[in-house]
């Protein structure tokens, strides 16, 4: 009897041990893919596949990676590394992350911060805190400095000895790390040459005949003009900001550009009321922190925002709106025609005395300077009150053609500058304000614009050209695909028109006339911009400002090759500088970077 009792106890303990082991083995969630040393796919729902919302990132740390689709130009420049060595360093960092995490069950401790792509978290593999291991690994970069520089160099030298190559898994050929055929590969693997030689074919240019490869490289390598143009101009009561987008080839959420910094400053200096007309929204931590601080100060925040017909707001917009009590969308219940029109404004009114407006969307492509935009911040209670009246119309539910013209003067004096404000669709801005300015131009009209489809404006430009005015246009590459674009009509009339060839968009909606006028705002030069959508447009009369903006136009004009006076660049292609490495769907076809045919 005693032996039987002991046997039962033994079996029970053994069963409990194995059950506990299984529970331990299956606890946590599995890392199913390592994108980079700071970005991972984790199987949060335990279905064995990578689903949306299962990307986890390490916050505040940068590293190199061997992922050819990631633009590492800034890090390469900072540490004076060649493209080959950036891949060498990235390979070692990726292998470190894979060894610690890939396929392992981990515990995830999520942080409140997140981006559109990632949820920030701490990752624990058993007793190991991955962030601490990464900081001590020689791969981590914080605030532009390596945490373990000696260890970094040691591992880089080790990677060089491996003689790494790029395997094109589609063609079965492998290439040196600086081979132009290798770095453009979309389906790739980085591995030591000794392994590649066992079963794959050598690239005939960079390995079999490297002399020929060098000649091709020298002949075909594009020359990137890294010169820059100042991005802000202060005059009395007005700060004008623009983006030299030729030097901001990837968007980010770091709030390093003056667009973002000045917006944060505007919000932080607000004490009582903050009214915002928002077309797009991205999670920019510094912006959202400023808004949270404003709420803590007791600032009354109101939002009017764009919503697409039969579509909920995008996730990042929706998350933001959930933090705002006073908000109003432009949806007009049971009126599809009105709801299909856009609330396209992008302006902020601070304390009813300071206004920020322009072409920039409140998004990562806007705040980072990736797109060419301009914004203007104006200290003027009178102008701010005028914009507040327009905002109040929308906030009360009057959008688009339901709005009324404002019953007060639309022209204001700010220091020595005259500023006139117009709103769409009620003011018929193109016909009543812009066409007369074009008709009275004497010397030049320069237009950095996203799109031109408005026929009366097009004809006014052609007429100005005929009477001897110097008319030049820089047009965004995506807009030549519009069904109603008039760019070919303008070219046929002899007007020099260049389509730009950079990753970001020329998103400006602007004109510079005769060293006298700057026209800017949210309104595209289109029929919808004038007659359907909610828009705002400023005519600023100031010589210093006009000359400054003209200088920017001439600077960008010189950077765009003369070829594009005749031909148009495919927005996502190797001819559009940076577009194959920016992580953005530049031509709106659902394909990004090397998944797009233009980049292959």
CATH at 55: 2.40.50.90
Q: Which of these is catalytic: 509, 582, 587, 596?
A: 509
Rounded Cα gap, residues 535 and 423, in angstroms: 6
Rounded Cα gap, residues 395 and 388, in angstroms: 10
- For 306, which DSSP code? -
Rounded Cα gap, residues 334 and 201, in angstroms: 63
- What's residue 217's pLDDT? 44
Q: Are residues 150 and 280 in the same domain?
A: no
Active site residue 509: yes
Please spell the DSSP secondary structure of 56-99, one letter per residue. Answer: EE-TT-B-----TTS--HHHHHHTT--HHHHHHHHHHHHHHHHH
Q: Are residues 36 and 156 in the same domain?
A: yes
- CB burial of residue 417 (10 Å; 0-12, 13-18, 19+): buried
Provide φ and ψ at 422, rounded to 5°: -135, 145
Rounded Cα gap, residues 258 and 57, in angstroms: 26
- Domain region containing 72: 27-162
Which pLDDT band, with edges at 50, 70 and 90, does 336 fall under? confident
Provide φ and ψ at 346, rounded to 5°: -140, 80
Q: Are residues 151 and 284 in the same domain?
A: no
Sheet holding 273-278, edge to edge: 232-235, 238-242, 374-379, 354-358, 347-350, 273-278, 300-305, 326-329
The answer to whether residue 3 is domain-embedded is no
Q: Are residues 119 and 244 in the same domain?
A: no
The answer to whether residue 15 is domain-embedded is no
Number of domains comprising the chain? 2
The answer to whether residue 545 is domain-embedded is yes
Lowest mean pLDDT among 64-78, 343-357, 436-450: 64-78
Rounded Cα gap, residues 553 and 468, in angstroms: 20
Q: Is the dihedral of CA 573, 575, 581, 584 positive or negative?
A: negative
The answer to whether residue 558 is domain-embedded is yes
Degrees to nearest 5, angle at CA 530 with 306 and 491 = 115
Q: Tell me the mean pLDDT in the region 450-471.
A: 97
Query: The tokens 């950077």 sit on which residue?
Result: 559
The answer to whether residue 79 is domain-embedded is yes
Q: Which H, E and C letters describe 162-174, residue by residue?
A: HCEEEEECCCCEE
Half-sphere exposure of 244 (CA within 13 A, CB side): 17
Q: Are residues 440 and 305 in the same domain?
A: yes
The answer to whether residue 363 is domain-embedded is yes
Rounded Cα gap, residues 91 and 85, in angstroms: 10
pLDDT tens across 128-149, in order? 999 999 999 999 999 999 999 9
Across 215-338, where does the E strand assignment appear?
A: 232-235, 238-242, 273-278, 300-305, 326-329
Which pLDDT band, with edges at 50, 70 and 90, does 17 fall under? very low
Other C-beta atoms closer than 10 Å to the C-beta of 284 total 24
Q: Report whether 305 contacts 317 (CB < 8 A).
A: yes
Q: Are residues 389 and 478 in the same domain?
A: yes
Q: Which of these is catalytic: 67, 514, 515, 544?
A: 514
Q: Are residues 247 and 158 in the same domain?
A: no
pLDDT tens across 406-426, in order? 988 999 999 999 999 999 999
Q: Are residues 128 and 275 in the same domain?
A: no
Q: Which of these is catalytic: 173, 403, 465, 507?
A: 507
- What's residue 573's pLDDT? 86
Provide φ and ψ at 291, rounded to 5°: -65, -40
Which pLDDT band, with edges at 50, 70 and 90, does 212 fall under? low
- What's residue 19's pLDDT? 39
- CB burial of residue 256 (10 Å; 0-12, 13-18, 19+): middle
Residue partners of 144: CB distance under 8 A and separation at least 6: 78
The answer to whether residue 348 is domain-embedded is yes
CATH at 323: 3.30.870.10
pLDDT tens across 181-204, in order? 888 787 888 989 888 887 788 988
Q: Are residues 383 and 259 in the same domain?
A: yes
Active site residue 593: no
- Cα–Cα nearest to 160, from 81, 224, 53: 81
Q: Are residues 242 and 123 in the same domain?
A: no
The last residue of a domain, from among 145, 162, 179 = 162
Lowest mean pLDDT among 164-173, 324-333, 368-377: 164-173
3-state secondary structure of 411: strand
Rounded Cα gap, residues 290 and 266, in angstroms: 9
Active site residue 336: no
- What's residue 310's pLDDT? 66
Higher local confidence (pLDDT), 351 or 212: 351
- What's residue 569's pLDDT? 83
Rounded Cα gap, residues 474 and 559, in angstroms: 11
Q: Report whether 79 contacts 71 (CB < 8 A).
A: no
Query: The tokens 């190991």 sit on which residue?
Result: 128
The answer to whether residue 214 is domain-embedded is no
Q: Is the dihedral of CA 102, 105, 108, 114 positive or negative?
A: positive
Residue 563 pLDDT more than 60?
A: yes
What is the per-residue burial (b if ≥16 Cβ within 10 Å, else e) of 331-352?
bbeeeeebbebbbbbbbbbbbe
- What's residue 483's pLDDT? 78
Q: What's the mean per-residue pLDDT of the chain?
A: 90
Q: Are residues 296 and 411 in the same domain?
A: yes
Q: Are residues 374 and 480 in the same domain?
A: yes
Query: The tokens 């996730």 sit on which residue?
Result: 315
- For 355, which DSSP code? E
């Amino acid at each position: 009897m005693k032996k039987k009792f002991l046997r039962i106890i033994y079996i029970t303990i053994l069963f409990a041990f194995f059950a506990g082991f299984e529970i331990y083995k299956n606890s946590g969630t599995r890392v199913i893919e390592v994108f980079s040393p700071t970005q991972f796919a984790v199987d949060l729902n335990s279905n064995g596949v990578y689903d949306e919302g299962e990307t986890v990132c390490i916050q505040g740390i940068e590293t190199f990676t061997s992922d050819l689709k990631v633009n590492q130009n800034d890090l390469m420049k900072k540490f004076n590394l060649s493209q080959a060595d950036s891949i060498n360093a990235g390979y070692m960092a990726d292998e470190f992350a894979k060894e610690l995490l890939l396929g392992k069950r981990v515990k995830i401790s999520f942080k409140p911060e997140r981006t559109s792509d990632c949820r920030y978290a701490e990752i624990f593999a058993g007793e190991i805190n991955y962030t601490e291991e990464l900081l001590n690994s020689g791969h981590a970069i914080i605030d532009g400095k390596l945490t373990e520089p000696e260890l970094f160099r040691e591992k880089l030298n080790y990677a060089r000895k491996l003689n790494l190559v790029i395997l094109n898994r589609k063609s079965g050929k492998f290439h040196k790390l600086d081979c132009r055929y290798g770095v453009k590969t979309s389906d790739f693997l980085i591995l030591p040459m000794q392994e590649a030689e066992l079963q794959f074919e050598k690239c005939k240019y960079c390995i079999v005949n490297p002399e020929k490869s060098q000649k091709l490289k020298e002949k075909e390598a594009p020359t990137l003009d890294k010169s820059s143009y100042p991005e802000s101009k202060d005059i009395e009561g007005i700060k004008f900001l623009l983006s030299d987008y030729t030097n901001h080839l990837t968007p980010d959420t770091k709030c390093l550009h003056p667009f973002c910094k000045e917006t944060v400053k505007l919000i932080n200096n607000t004490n009582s009321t903050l009214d915002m007309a928002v077309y797009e929204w991205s999670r920019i931590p510094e912006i959202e922190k400023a808004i949270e601080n404003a709420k803590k100060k007791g600032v009354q925040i109101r939002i009017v925002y764009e919503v697409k017909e039969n579509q909920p707001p995008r996730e990042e917009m929706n998350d933001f709106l959930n933090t705002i009590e006073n908000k109003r969308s432009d949806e007009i219940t049971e009126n599809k025609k009105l709801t299909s029109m856009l609330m396209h404004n992008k302006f902020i009114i601070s304390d009813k005395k300071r206004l920020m407006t322009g072409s920039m969307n409140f998004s990562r492509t806007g705040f980072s300077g990736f797109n060419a935009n301009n914004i203007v911040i104006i200290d003027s209670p009178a102008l701010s009150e005028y914009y507040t009246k327009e905002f109040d119309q929308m906030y009360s539910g009057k959008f688009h053609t339901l709005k009324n013209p404002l019953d007060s003067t639309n022209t204001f004096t700010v220091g020595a500058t005259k500023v006139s404000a117009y709103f769409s669709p009620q003011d018929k801005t193109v016909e009543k304000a812009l066409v007369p300015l074009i008709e009275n131009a004497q010397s030049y009209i320069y237009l950095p614009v996203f799109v031109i489809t408005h026929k009366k404006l097009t004809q006014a430009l052609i007429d100005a050209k005929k009477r001897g005015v110097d008319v030049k246009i820089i047009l965004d590459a995506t807009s030549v695909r519009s069904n109603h674009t008039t760019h070919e009509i303008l070219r046929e009339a002899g007007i020099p028109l260049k389509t730009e060839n950079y990753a970001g968009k020329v998103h400006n909606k602007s004109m510079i006339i005769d060293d006298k006028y700057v026209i800017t705002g949210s309104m595209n030069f289109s029929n919808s911009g004038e007659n359907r959508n909610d828009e705002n447009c400023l005519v600023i009369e100031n010589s210093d400002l006009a000359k400054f903006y003209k200088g920017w136009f001439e600077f960008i004009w010189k950077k765009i090759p003369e070829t594009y006076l005749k031909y148009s660049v495919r927005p996502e292609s190797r001819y559009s500088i940076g577009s194959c490495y920016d992580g953005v769907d530049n031509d709106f076809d659902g394909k990004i970077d090397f998944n797009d045919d233009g980049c292959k």
